[in-house]
Amino acid sequence: MNSVASNEDINISEKKETKKPGKSTKEREKVKKVNGASERFFINVGSIDNVNKRELLQFICEQARLKTESIGNISLQKKCAYFDVEKKYAKAVANKFKGISLDGRQLRVNRDDGGGRRRRS
């Protein structure tokens, strides 16, 4: 009969970390609020443009010259996306995307007005 030479208990299995399929750790981390007050923006780029959240985050940061920590939640939809930016950078973001074209169409980035919903005063 063969004996086990190690002191390890062969009946203890290693615990494996379970992850949600389809989302990387960085993408899950982006579902966060930015530090302090934030402004929500609309961009007319969506999943139909073959872009994912990570690529959109990189594009926004490069174009607006911001660090990724300044961008909060990104909601990627089929034809558009919404993203949160620290309030102190909001004016700069609105101005950095003017005059840019994507696949022959004018890129639009503007503050989200709530999609027709009325804001409370």
Cα atoms in the Cβ-side hemisphere of radius 13 Å centred on 3: 3
Q: Which tokens hold the place of 57?
A: 């985050």
**Whole-angstrom distance, CA of residue 36 vs CA of residue 43:** 22
Q: Is residue 81 part of a domain?
A: yes
Number of domains in the chain: 1
Per-residue pLDDT tens over the stretch 36-85: 689 999 999 999 999 999 999 999 999 999 999 999 999 999 999 999 99
The residue with greater pLDDT, 119 or 54, is: 54
The DSSP result for 47-101, as a single string, is GGGT--HHHHHHHHHHHHT--GGGEEEEEE-SS-EEEEEEGGGHHHHHHHTTT-E
Q: Is residue 15 part of a domain?
A: no
| Whole-number pLDDT of residue 29 | 44
Q: Is residue 12 part of a domain?
A: no
| Whole-number pLDDT of residue 94 | 81
- Domain hosting 97: range is 25-111
Q: Is residue 20 part of a domain?
A: no
pTM of the predicted structure, to 2 decimals: 0.66
Q: Is residue 70 part of a domain?
A: yes
| Whole-number pLDDT of residue 105 | 87
Per-residue pLDDT tens over the stretch 3-16: 444 444 444 444 44
